[in-house]
Chain A
Amino acid sequence: MTSEALPTVFIVDDDRGMRQAIQDLVDSVGLHAESFASGEEFLCKKHNSRPSCLVLDVRLPQMSGLDFQQRLVDIGIQIPVIFITAHGDIPMSVRALKSGAVEFLTKPFRDQDLLDAIQQALQRDRAAHEQQAEVHNLQQRYGSLTAREKEVMTLVVSGMLNKQIAGEIGASEPTVKIHRGNVMRKMEAGSVVDLVRMADKLKLSPRK
């Protein structure tokens, strides 16, 4: 994938010196970095689906970094966050990590610590992107099923035999077999186990 080649590190810090230093450090290890003086500036930037992470200063002029992170969650922007602060305390770091921050670093920090955190964050973002893409794919496949096939799929992943399914939906066993074959083909499932995993990802609730 093309996005593999161009992961982006976003930096939000109101201190210009700090901003430039981090951007330069990120550049020095061959990653692409973009920096902003405030959260608002960051939100104005058009986002694409490239893997990315955000290095966020806790003390910002308008809104604190912690509140800004919450706001990102609220408006549906999923991006791993690394907090940096000039005077962090334990409760603050606990709160940040609880709300999904990758790391909480106190200035001045070791350069390797920041770079490790950035790598970890990008990895996490990449995985999230992949999972999202797979779910999206599965949803498309699931969408191509007829209503009857969806019904049969639900019963199959519940662990029912063809005979039981036939009794359940009031159809003959051969008919069920045809439906089942269509489901396996359209969902591109190699086995029932495969299909169950797909149903799980699609969050289909199996029949009890």
Chain B
Amino acid sequence: MANEDVQRTLEELSRNLQESKAWLEEAQRVAHVGYWVWDLQTNRVIWSDETYRIFGLAPQEGQIDLAKVRESIHPNDREEVFRIAEESVRSGERADSEHRVIRPSGEIRVVHSLGDLKKDSSGRPYQMFGTTQDITDRKRAEEALRRMSRSVQESNARLEEAQRIAHVGHWEWKIETGRLTWSDETYRIYGMAPQERPIDISILREMIHPEDRESMFRKAEESLLSGVRADAEHRIVRPSGEVRTVHSRADAKRDASGRPYEMFGTVQDITERKRAEQALQQTQIYLREGQRLARMGSWAFNDEGLHWSDELYQIFGLDPEKGAPKIEQYLTLIHPQDQAAMAETIKTMFQEHSGCDVTKRIVRPDGQVRYVRCVASPVIEQEVFKGFLGTAMDVTEQELLTQELRREQAYLAEAQSLAHIGSWATNFATRQNFHLSDETYRIHGFDPRQGPPGLERFWATLHPQDETLVRATLEDAVRAGTDYDIRDFRIRRADDGQIRFLRTIGHRNPVGEIGEYVGITMDITELKRAEEERERLRQLEADLAHINRVNMMGELAAALAHEIRQPIAASITSANACLRWLARDPPDLKRARAAAARIEQDGNRAADVINRLRSFYKKGSPPRREIVDVREIIQEMTALLRTEAFRHSVRIHSELHEERPQVLADRVQLQQVFMNLMLNAIEAMRDSGGELTIASRPNPEGQLVVSISDTGEGLPADSAERIFDAFHTTKPQGTGMGLAITRSIVEAHGGRVWATTNSGAGATFHFTLPAKAEEHA
């Protein structure tokens, strides 16, 4: 029985043991703990299934010995593990080591091994029994935890730092207790040392700027009620009295029932940003205002496109809402005449990354043309082209003014150049030229482009013969402070060496310094030449009058000769024919009579020609009659013959009885009469010179008697009666018609002409003309 019981008990024990072993195995597997036994005598090692697994093998996959164990341990830990083991064997202490193992797959695991020595009865260790636990996962978790905690610490530190840098503080408000907690930065923002004193709502209230206080607390309440985040910019007053602007944000935290129990918020000092913002706004306002006032717009061109300032839109008359125009559109805004040049400028700017400074015309949408000066410069950052910055200024008024000024200057210069008058302003005391017009340069032969020559160079152009006089006149005037006028002096022009005649007038500048004169210099060379030319022409005119008279006579004689010769030739021929008819045998009397009749006809024809000629100046075919002022005619003739008279040293004067003797006459014919008689008188004195006197007086018959006397050679003694006959002449170049015509004219006017010998020298020719009063008779 007892045996059976023992047997049963034993079986039970064995079963229990088996179970225990299975549990142990299970426990080991769950806890990743394996055990091992190391026989110190044989160095054999026995591993449990889990140990095999920990080492990356299938349970009981192969025999394990010490060498195998050694191999499985991570090389860096190997020596340490065996040192601890040997130490344990020697000392009997428990071996305890964390080390790494390398699985055959190469995977590294971290294990914790413990080993205890077993001793036999004699106390000699014969075996080491130990466990090995895979702690890789635990290790990782520990590591992660450690890292996390470090990170949290760092984050906190960084947050603090960041808050300080960004001037952001935070706070918590326990609603139930009313306790307010501030972060260090919050204290700083409110102008206190971190955690200087506990804070509560009433203190906070005091620190908020009075003007913002109510609105701020109202916002906080609203947030508490609505759950929406409170967000406000407001001012605070630091204990020092300094006002700062802060931005506060806060969220309410609520419990399960939705009741707020805490408020958490941040506060940021935005004073500097605010100030910068305001300053920027102010700057922009100033800039805009400045641009508006200066009519100057600005623009920028970069990767983001083209930006125009408001004033630029104003200048171009465009709507800012529509944005800046593209280059092609921009070009269409330019005046057609400036478009090509502007397109070229823009092209060059982009090609060469160069700036520009151009003034061009634009046409506004309303048709107005404005001048715009555009200045641009390229933006280059670290040698990379970024775009352009520029300004555009409405310079229409300046431009028009400039143009007007330029035009006026051009007119003035043109006028000066036309008149050969140069203007100048000079201080003769300091020898300084303030102003020299271009024409002044040119008059003296200097090139205006080469700048003002010194006063000495002007002096140098003076003609040596005139220099002394000019200098003296000028120096006297300057010394006396008077104006001067040097009417005629010569210079040798600097550029071509030509001699020119100048006149220069200087007026002392009354408001200027001593020696300061303004004046003009005139080139009178042409004027002088013209005067000389006029004189020459006058002489020529007089000569011509004389020649004309001679020619006219010649022509008249020639015409007369032809007119008369024709009928005479015809009658001679007819006479010849007549003789031939008579000489016939028998004579042809009929034809001879006819020829004789033609002779008579042609004879009469010749007589008619002569009658016609005489009738030119015959009484009865009166030419035009008008009231003629004899004095006027005398003046005209005197002017016309002055040169001629001068040439022969003849003086002309008149002794008129009345102020304005008047006659009824044909003006032109009367001129001819005076001309003939005066010319004759001058010719009579051509070698001796003398005096020509024209006198007038009324005679008892109510006529005007005009007498023209000379002091010449007098009338020819032998032919005094024939001088009025046609073709009678005593002069080598005379036609013999002058006095004949004179007589015809005078007689045609109902007057008489005669000549007398003077008691002294010379002769006097008289003629009478009906006076004006006779018209009514």
A binds B: yes
Interface residues of A (CB under 8 A from B): 15, 17-18, 20-22, 24-25, 27-29, 59, 86-87, 107-111, 114
A28 and B565 within 8 A (CB): no
How far apart are the CA atoms of A28 and B598 in the complex, in Å? 15
Contact flags (1/0) for B547-585 with A, using CB distance below 8 Å?
A: 000000000001001100111111111101100110010
Is B567 in contact with A24, judged by CB distance below 8 angstroms?
no
A-B residue pairs in contact (CB < 8 Å), sample of 26: A17-B567, A17-B574, A17-B598, A17-B602, A17-B605, A18-B569, A18-B573, A20-B574, A21-B570, A21-B573, A21-B574, A21-B598, A21-B602, A24-B577, A24-B591, A25-B580, A27-B577, A28-B584, A29-B580, A86-B565, A87-B561, A87-B562, A87-B565, A108-B572, A111-B577, A114-B573
Give chain A nearest CB distance to B564 CB in angstroms.
Answer: 9
Q: Are B558 and A87 in contact (CB under 8 A)?
A: yes
The answer, yes or no, to whether B601 is at the interface (CB within 8 Å) is yes
Cα distance A20–B591 in the bound complex, in angstroms: 12
Considering the complex of A and B, which 10 residue pairs feature the smallest CB-CB distances, nearest first?
A: A107-B569, A111-B576, A108-B569, A17-B570, A21-B573, A28-B580, A108-B572, A25-B577, A21-B574, A24-B577
A108, B580: Cβ atoms closer than 8 Å = no
- Interface status of B594 (Cβ within 8 A of chain A): yes
State whether A15 and B570 are in contact (beta carbons under 8 Å apart), knowing that A24-B595, A86-B565 are contacts in the complex.
yes
| A107 and B580 form a contact (CB under 8 A) | no
| Inter-chain contacts of A20 with B (CB < 8 A) | 570, 574, 598
Q: Is the CB of B566 within 8 A of A24?
A: no
Q: Helix, strand, loop or mixed for chain A's interface?
A: helix
How many Å lie between the Cα of A24 and that of B580 in the bound state? 10
Indicate which residue in B566, B571, B573, B598 contacts A111 across the interface (CB closer than 8 Å).
Answer: B573
What residues on A are CB-neighbors of B558 within 8 Å? 87
Contacts of A22 in B (CB 8 A): 573
Q: How far is the CB of A22 from chain B (nearest CB, A)?
A: 6
**Would you call the interface of chain B mostly helix, strand, loop, or mixed?**
helix
> Complex formed: what's the CA distance from A87 to B558 in Å?
9
Q: Are B601 and A17 in contact (CB under 8 A)?
A: yes
Residues on A with beta carbons closer than 8 Å to the beta carbon of B594: 24
| Chain A residue contacts of B566, Cβ below 8 A | 15, 17-18, 86, 107
A114, B577: Cα distance in complex, Å = 12
Residue interface bits B344-358, CB-to-A below 8 A is 1, else 0 = 000000000000000
- Chain A residue with Cβ nearest B572: A108
Which residues of A have CB within 8 Å of B588?
28
| Choice from B561, B581, B601 contacting A28 with Cβ under 8 Å | B581
Residues of B within 8 A of A87 (CB): 558, 561-562, 565
Contacts of B572 in A (CB 8 A): 108
Q: How many residues of B contact A (CB 8 A)?
A: 26
Q: A108 near B565 (CB under 8 angstroms)? A: yes
- The B293-338 residues at the A interface (CB cut-off 8 A) are none
Q: Name the residue among B561, B580, B594 with the largest chain A CB count within 10 angstroms.
A: B580
Task: Decide if B561 touches A21 in the complex (CB within 8 Å).
Answer: no
Q: How far is the CA of A107 from the CA of B569 in the complex (A)?
A: 5
Take A17-B598, A17-B605 as given contacts and tell me if A25 and B569 are in contact as well, using a CB distance cutoff of 8 Å: no
How many angstroms from the CA of A22 to the CA of B567 in the assembled complex? 12
CA distance A59 to B559 in the complex (A): 13
Question: Are A24 and B574 in contact, with the CB atoms below 8 A?
Answer: yes
Contact between chains at B573 and A25 (CB < 8 Å)? yes
Smallest Cβ distance from A17 to chain B, in angstroms? 4
Residues of A within 8 A of B601 (CB): 17
Q: Which chain B residue has the least Cβ–Cβ distance from A108?
A: B569
Q: Which residue of A lies closest to B564 (CB)?
A: A86
User: In the complex, A86→B569 CA distance in Å?
Assistant: 8
Q: Is the CB of A21 within 8 A of B577?
A: yes
Distance of B771 from chain A, by nearest CB (Å): 45
Give the Cβ gap from B320 to chain A, nearest Cβ, in Å.
Answer: 88
Whole-angstrom distance between the Cβ of B608 and the nearest chain A Cβ = 12
- 11 further contact pairs, Cβ within 8 A, besides A18-B566, A107-B569: A17-B598, A17-B602, A18-B569, A20-B574, A21-B595, A25-B580, A27-B591, A28-B588, A107-B566, A108-B573, A109-B573
Q: Which residues from chain B contact A110 at a C-beta distance below 8 Å?
A: 576
Whole-angstrom CA separation of A59 from B565 in the bound complex: 13
A111: which B residues are within 8 A, CB to CB? 573, 576-577, 580
Chain A residues, CB < 8 A from B598: 17, 20-21, 24
Which A residues lie within 8 Å of B591 (CB)? 24, 27-28
CB proximity of A111 to chain B, nearest CB, Å? 3
* Least distance between A21 CB and chain B CB atoms (Å): 4
* Neighbouring A residues of B576 by C-beta, 8 Å: 25, 110-111
Bound Cα distance from A24 to B590, whole angstroms: 12
A107–B570 Cα gap in the complex (Å)? 8
CB distance from A171 to the nearest CB of B (A): 68
* Bound complex: CA A18 to CA B605 (Å): 12
CA distance A111 to B572 in the complex (A): 9
Name, among A86, A108, A110, the residue most crowded by chain B CB atoms within 10 Å (CB to CB): A108
Q: Are A108 and B574 in contact (CB under 8 A)?
A: no
Across the interface, name the chain A residue whose C-beta is closest to B595: A24
Q: Which residue of B lies closest to A14 (CB)?
A: B566
* B197 CB, nearest partner CB in chain A, Å: 141
Q: Which residue of B lies closest to A20 (CB)?
A: B598
CA distance A108 to B576 in the complex (A): 11
Q: Are A18 and B577 also in contact (CB < 8 A) when A27-B591, A87-B558 are? A: no
A107 CB contact (under 8 Å) in B565, B595, B605: B565
A28 to B579, CA, bound (A): 9
Q: Which residues of B contact A109 (CB under 8 A)?
A: 569, 573
In the bound complex, CA of A21 to CA of B561 (Å): 20
Contact with A along B587-619 (1 / 0, CB 8 A): 010010011001001100100000000000000
Q: How far is the CA of A15 from the CA of B572 in the complex (A)?
A: 14
- In the complex the two chains form, what is the Cα distance from A112 to B577 in whole Å? 11
Please measure, in the bound complex, the distance between the C-alpha atom of A10 and the C-alpha atom of B13, giving whole angstroms.
195
Closest Cβ of chain A: how far from B574's Cβ, in Å? Answer: 4
Q: What is the CB-to-nearest-CB distance from B75 to chain A, in angstroms, rounded to a whole number?
A: 140
Closest beta carbon of chain B to A108's beta carbon, Å: 4
Provide the residues of chain B in CB contact with A15, threshold 8 Å: 566, 570
Nearest A residue (CB) for B605: A17
**Docked-complex contact B570 and A18, CB < 8 angstroms:** yes
Taking CB atoms, residues of chain A closer than 8 Å to B570 are 15, 17-18, 20-21
A17: B residues at CB distance < 8 A: 566-567, 570-571, 574, 598, 601-602, 605
- Complex CA distance for A107 and B577, rounded to whole angstroms: 15
Give every chain B residue within 8 A of A86 (Cβ-Cβ).
561-562, 565-566, 569
Nearest-CB distance from B199 to chain A (Å)?
138
Residues of A contacting B595 in the complex (Cβ-Cβ under 8 angstroms): 21, 24
Closest to A29 in B: B580
A22 to B577, CA, bound (A): 8
Smallest distance from the beta carbon of B517 to chain A beta carbons, Å? 70
> Whose C-beta in chain A lies nearest to the C-beta of B558?
A87
In the assembly, what is the distance between CA of A108 and CA of B562, in Å?
11
Q: Is the CB of A108 within 8 A of B568?
A: yes
Distance, CA A109 to CA B577, complexed state (A): 13
